[in-house]
Structure 1
Amino acid sequence: MSLRSGGRKVSFDLLAGDSSGDDGSLSLRPSAVLSNGDEDSRSTRRKRKSKASKKKKLGERAALAVDRGLFVGVDLEKPSGHYDDGMGLSVSESRSVESSVCENTVVEPAPELESSQVSCVSFVELRQRIANGSADDVLGEEETSTRENSTGQWRPESKEKITKLEKEGSLDWNRVMAEDPNLLGGVSSSDRSPIKYFMGEIYGGNSLRSTISAGNEKKRQGVYNTMFHVPWRCERLIVAGFFVCLDSFLSLLTIMPARILMTIWRVLHTRQFQKPNAAELSDFGCFIVLAIGIIPLQMTDISLIYHIIRGQGIIKLYVVYNVLEIFDKLCQSFGEDVLQVLFNSAEGLSNCSPDNMIFQLMRFILDEAIAIIAFVVHSFILLAQAITLSTCIIGHNNALLALLVSNNFSEVKSNVFKRVSKENLHSLVYYDIIERFHITTYVLFVLSQNILEAEGPWFESFAIDVLQVYLCETFIDTIKHSFLAKFNEIKPSAYSEFLEDLCKQTLNEKPNEHRKDLTFIPLAPASVVIRVLTPVYAIVLPYGPLPWRIFWIIFWSSLTYIMLAICKMLVGLSLRRLATWYINQRLESKQHVD
């Protein structure tokens, strides 16, 4: 491209930077400065014009850009047809300019250009200057020197000074303090410095005064309740409830068989069949459920179930135990309803007229069948839980600790952060009592398995594992009830009221207000205990003729019954005496308060 000014002619090349260049822009560099009438003749100029005839329209636009003193940068990264530089140069045309870098086009010089100066400015810089409104003197602003880089190309070198970036104003402490005098919270102007502020915070008193306020006696009492009062009263209630469940369990194994034998003896002695009353029918119904529930458990291969469960990983053991625990809760709730329906049918059958006898009898049989199915399923669930716990204890691979920690802390998570009422808390503590008794059933199962199969000294490790299980359960129940009482603002006296209701239930006292009873059905635990202790009795029976073995079976059964009856009397009498004492203590404390 050439410019003619005065008597001199300046020839320069229009360079187009490719996408891999420094600034991705087009620039001008002088190619030669020729005198008037030298090598560049009119014929040469015409020849060059003929070469540029194919790009005539592009040359006219480029000349117009030079006349105006404007060079607009072209963004080569944009797709073709989607960009217009304001001068009508599209991306495709700009690429045509790039392809004709070495060709020269003669245009008339702009009036703003001096004859001795040519500005070599990149398209990017020209575009910025156009945006700033200073593009009229782009080409005549400064003198441009050229230099040759390492590749032998001529590149423009601008003498324009680069302005240094100024610091961010927010780094100036004095300016920040001038804009916001209250930044340090009322500190005087003479003390406005970070060091003096920090020293003032050190000598200012409590460092947490902005987030934690001073407590009072109510807060102190809340801390003492969480740490001491609630755990003590809750554990006292659970222990008392455990012995109530044990009393019911012993009643099932001692009182119920005695009542059934007395009923049968009366019928045989009088030789007169009389319609049994509701209590006797209920005893017969429970005995049938217990007897039929033991039969499927006796046919179950415990070793097969043990090896199936033992083959699972620790995570799977945790999942299995939690699934069984969920079904245990469901069976407890459903079993309570089923047994109440059975007792109602027994009462209806004992009091019905002869005309309605068949209907009442059929209903009693149907309810008995439902009860048998429900408690057989519940017995299998308890047996599977006992086998799972036995697998963790015998495994000696920390599976027991992992099972207890994962299961108990998931119980804390599912209960502590819920909003519960006082009645819901009452039901929850009663469920913890039943769970504690079920764990005792599992421990008896593990004990019987060790007696039958363990080799070498095993009692010490067994005692340590059992102690670990009970301590973990006690610790988790303490944490759970302490924080339930804290989050729901339930006073420790609520647990004393629950214990008072339990004592009244033990003494069969019916208060005027509504009272929630501890509902425990010992049929499923009794089936499991009988199933796991039967093999232990079998190994102590001597070998010999059948009558001799029958004699020893009767002997050991009678001895076991006597022992259970003694335990029943001790537990029952102790519970009644302690219940009476506690109720009297509560009455005296209420009188003192009044």
Structure 2
Amino acid sequence: MSIRSGGRKVSFDLLASDSSGDDGSLSLRPASDPFLSNGGEDGRSTRRKRKSKASKKRKLAERAAVAGDTGLLAGLDHQTPSLAENGHCEDGMGFGISENRSVVESVCENTVVEPAPEPESSEVSCVSYVELRQRNVNGSVGDEPGDEETSTRESSQGQWRPESKGNISKLAKDGSLDWNRVMEEDPRMSGEVLSSDSSPIKYFIGEIYGGNSLRSTISAGNEKKRQGVYNTMFHVPWRCERLIVAGFFVCLDSFLSLLTIMPARILMTVWRVLHTRKFQRPNAAELADFGCFIVLAIGVITLQMTDISLIYHIIRGQGIVKLYVVYNVLEIFDKLCQSFGEDVLQVLFNSAEGLSNCSPDNMIFQLMRFILDETIAIIAFVVHSFILLAQAITLSTCIIAHNNALLALLVSNNFSEVKSNVFKRVSKENLRSLVYYDIIERFHITTYVLFVLSQNILEAEGPWFESFATDALQVYLCETFIDTIKHSFLAKFNEIKPHAYSDFLEDLCKQTLNEKPDEHRKDLTFIPLAPACVVIRVLTPVYATVLPYGPFPWRLNWIIFWSSLTYIMLAICKMLVGLSLRHLATWYINQRLENKQHVD
């Protein structure tokens, strides 16, 4: 027989010992061994030693073969040196030619190859023994790389397990891998969808008669959802726009008061001093009027010195994107100046009150503080008026341009406002502040439109009023639309009821009637100094065009006439607006009281 080990093939003869040897023991001898063919003395002594050791091992091997103990055979193989190291048998387990070779062949023929014998059986699996011996030899020597990994892999696959004594076991199939079992147990897999008679046409017809497909992704609505939709589309826009319009007329009333009431109070104070020829310390209101008049006069003079045409050409040379950036920057500074101007004006009024009520010893200190606060107010409101004038010039540039710059400016600016406000978490008081900012912005836009109107009167050629009216209407509609969307979704996302805007309007009506405000109520704060400076600056050239040419006294008379006529018109507007606001405020407050009593 032949055994391949370590890439070499070694041939052996199976034989039985002669009568002089041990009892019927088996032996292996290489077919050709140069070492055994050596006739020296050393070779003989070596063969004798190996012969004595091998005789014992042959007895053990014979007993194991007869008893069918493959574990003992494997143990003997571990004790036997590898045949693959020198290419021949080193343990001396074979010599001579067997006379009982047929005995060994008959034993091998009677062995069972596939299943291992029962423990009580005496049959021996020669194939299992040879395979075990070969694997032990390869595993102990490790001539070929990967033999150990191959043995491990084969063991994991169930092809060879030494502990099973030659048995080849079959892996049990996992329940999760049994597809038929999964299909039978899962109720979702056994429906009409996966049935054999289903088809795309039947599926489509089933979807048609299955109802609205959107109901699977959208929950059913209720009365609360319906009321929320109505609030977003109707109630909030209506009440918000009503509040903004009322606030606009409140700002207009304050603006007209600055141009009519304040000059009248100043003239009365001057007339009293000239008539009595006695200087009396003015009270806090008169000092506040003087301070505001000085701010207004210096602001108008500063804007008169400003070259509008230069600013116009600088802004007009910019692209649409730069116009958008310039307008947004100016709008941000406008809001900052509004907040800072409110604080400055409060400080100025406090200084005026301190100066009017101070003792003669503290007069100089209070006067210096009033002058310092007046200087700060002049600087703040001159800067604010210049920012408003630059915004008006930017809007005029977009209106005059013929490349749809106005539409691009309105869309980009207003929708950026929606993006910056709608998706924020706001409270009811913050919402009140946003509404008041929108009211002031609406009034400032009116100032810009007046600037554009004056520019068209002075410089336009041909019919221009129709295009001006269209552009002005576009500006107001876009602003109204954006305010409506912004407040509708602010109320929706923050779960604010439309009654909140009614509460804001009620507070505004109480402010108009000069009622004592509540502790938690915030008034609409509007300072008309900067818009008044811009309006006077842009309307002065228009009045100059209607004055007749002539000597100075003649022109002075016309200036006095037109100024008086303008003052009378503004005073009439002031009375109409003021009386209308007071009447409407009283009516609305009474309506609110009746509604509350009816609800209670």
Q: TM-score normalised to the size of structure 2?
A: 0.69
2:250 aligned to which of 244, 249, 254: 244
| Alpha-carbon shift at residue 208 of structure 1 (Å) | 1.9
1:208 aligned to which of 210, 214, 218: 214
Per the alignment, residue 487 of structure 1 pairs with 493
Per the alignment, residue 311 of structure 1 pairs with 317
Distance 2:540 2:369 in 1: 34
Q: Secondary structure at the match of 1:272?
A: coil
Letter matched to residue 333 of structure 2 = F
Q: Secondary structure at the match of 1:520?
A: coil
Distance 1:393 1:174 in 2: 76
1:288 aligned to which of 294, 315, 322: 294
Letter matched to residue 318 of structure 1 = Y
Matched, 1:255 2:266: no
Question: Is the CA contact (8 Å cut-off) linking 2:192 and 2:198 kept in structure 1?
Answer: no
2:544 aligned to which of 527, 538, 543: 538
| Residues 195-218 of structure 1: CA deviation (Å, up to 9, x unaligned) | 455543332222122221111000
Instruction: Report the CA distance shift for 1:192/1:128 in structure 2 as closer, same or farther (over 3 A).
Output: farther
1:34-113 residue pairs with structure 2 within 5 A? Answer: none
1:224 aligned to which of 230, 233, 236: 230
Distance 1:342 1:446 in 2: 33
Instruction: Report the CA distance shift for 1:263/1:131 in structure 2 as closer, same or farther (over 3 A).
Output: same
Instruction: Report the CA distance shift for 1:197/1:328 in structure 2 as closer, same or farther (over 3 A).
Output: same
Per the alignment, residue 589 of structure 2 pairs with 583
Question: Is the CA contact (8 Å cut-off) linking 2:256 and 2:574 kept in structure 1?
Answer: yes
Instruction: Report the CA distance shift for 1:512/1:442 in structure 2 as closer, same or farther (over 3 A).
Output: closer
| Residues 83-128 of structure 1: CA deviation (Å, up to 9, x unaligned) | xxxxxxxxxxxxxxxxxxxxxxxxxxxxxxxxxxxxxxxxxxxx99
Q: Secondary structure at the match of 1:209?
A: helix
Question: Is the CA contact (8 Å cut-off) linking 1:292 and 1:372 kept in structure 2?
Answer: yes
Q: Secondary structure at the match of 2:216?
A: coil
Distance 1:403 1:350 in 2: 49
Distance 2:199 2:362 in 1: 96
- Which moved further from structure 2: 542-551 or 187-196? 187-196
CA RMSD of aligned residues (A): 2.9
| Alpha-carbon shift at residue 131 of structure 1 (Å) | 8.7
Instruction: Report the CA distance shift for 1:488/1:548 in structure 2 as closer, same or farther (over 3 A).
Output: same
Distance 2:244 2:324 in 1: 25
| Alpha-carbon shift at residue 512 of structure 1 (Å) | 4.3
| Alpha-carbon shift at residue 225 of structure 1 (Å) | 0.2
| Alpha-carbon shift at residue 514 of structure 1 (Å) | 2.4
Question: Is the CA contact (8 Å cut-off) linking 1:191 and 1:197 kept in structure 2?
Answer: no
| Alpha-carbon shift at residue 493 of structure 1 (Å) | 0.3
Instruction: Report the CA distance shift for 1:188/1:472 in structure 2 as closer, same or farther (over 3 A).
Output: closer
Matched, 1:389 2:377: no
Distance 1:563 1:175 in 2: 95
Instruction: Report the CA distance shift for 1:528/1:174 in structure 2 as closer, same or farther (over 3 A).
Output: farther
Letter matched to residue 549 of structure 1 = R
| Alpha-carbon shift at residue 397 of structure 1 (Å) | 1.1
Distance 2:332 2:573 in 1: 32
Distance 1:129 1:193 in 2: 54
Distance 2:146 2:541 in 1: 97
Instruction: Report the CA distance shift for 1:313/1:188 in structure 2 as closer, same or farther (over 3 A).
Output: closer
Question: Is the CA contact (8 Å cut-off) linking 2:436 and 2:524 kept in structure 1?
Answer: yes
Distance 1:571 1:308 in 2: 39
Letter matched to residue 374 of structure 2 = E
Question: Is the CA contact (8 Å cut-off) linking 1:244 and 1:575 kept in structure 2?
Answer: yes
Matched, 1:329 2:335: yes
Q: Secondary structure at the match of 1:592?
A: helix
Matched, 1:572 2:584: no
| Alpha-carbon shift at residue 511 of structure 1 (Å) | 4.4
Instruction: Report the CA distance shift for 1:478/1:174 in structure 2 as closer, same or farther (over 3 A).
Output: farther
| Alpha-carbon shift at residue 295 of structure 1 (Å) | 1.1
| Alpha-carbon shift at residue 130 of structure 1 (Å) | 12
Letter matched to residue 326 of structure 1 = I
Q: TM-score normalised to the size of structure 1?
A: 0.70
| Alpha-carbon shift at residue 517 of structure 1 (Å) | 0.3
Letter matched to residue 417 of structure 1 = F
Distance 1:475 1:445 in 2: 23
Question: Is the CA contact (8 Å cut-off) linking 2:511 and 2:517 kept in structure 1?
Answer: no
Instruction: Report the CA distance shift for 1:192/1:362 in structure 2 as closer, same or farther (over 3 A).
Output: farther
Matched, 1:474 2:480: yes
| Alpha-carbon shift at residue 466 of structure 1 (Å) | 0.3
Per the alignment, residue 453 of structure 1 pairs with 459
Letter matched to residue 565 of structure 2 = L
Instruction: Report the CA distance shift for 1:191/1:181 in structure 2 as closer, same or farther (over 3 A).
Output: farther
Distance 1:295 1:176 in 2: 91
Matched residue count: 441
Instruction: Report the CA distance shift for 1:189/1:285 in structure 2 as closer, same or farther (over 3 A).
Output: closer
Distance 2:438 2:309 in 1: 30
Percent identity of paired positions between Structure 1 and Structure 2 = 90
Instruction: Report the CA distance shift for 1:130/1:311 in structure 2 as closer, same or farther (over 3 A).
Output: farther
Matched, 1:416 2:422: yes
| Residues 130-164 of structure 1: CA deviation (Å, up to 9, x unaligned) | 9978xxxxxxxxxxxxxxxxxxxxxxxxxxxxxxx
1:8-47 residue pairs with structure 2 within 5 A? Answer: none
Per the alignment, residue 122 of structure 1 pairs with none
Letter matched to residue 593 of structure 1 = V
| Residues 284-320 of structure 1: CA deviation (Å, up to 9, x unaligned) | 0000000011111000000000000000000000000
Question: Is the CA contact (8 Å cut-off) linking 1:348 and 1:360 kept in structure 2?
Answer: yes
Distance 1:449 1:564 in 2: 22
Letter matched to residue 378 of structure 2 = I
Letter matched to residue 534 of structure 2 = V
Q: Secondary structure at the match of 2:215?
A: coil
Instruction: Report the CA distance shift for 1:131/1:197 in structure 2 as closer, same or farther (over 3 A).
Output: farther
Letter matched to residue 417 of structure 2 = E
Question: Is the CA contact (8 Å cut-off) linking 1:242 and 1:437 kept in structure 2?
Answer: yes
Larger radius of gyration: 2
Instruction: Report the CA distance shift for 1:592/1:539 in structure 2 as closer, same or farther (over 3 A).
Output: same
Q: Secondary structure at the match of 2:188?
A: coil
Q: Secondary structure at the match of 1:208?
A: helix
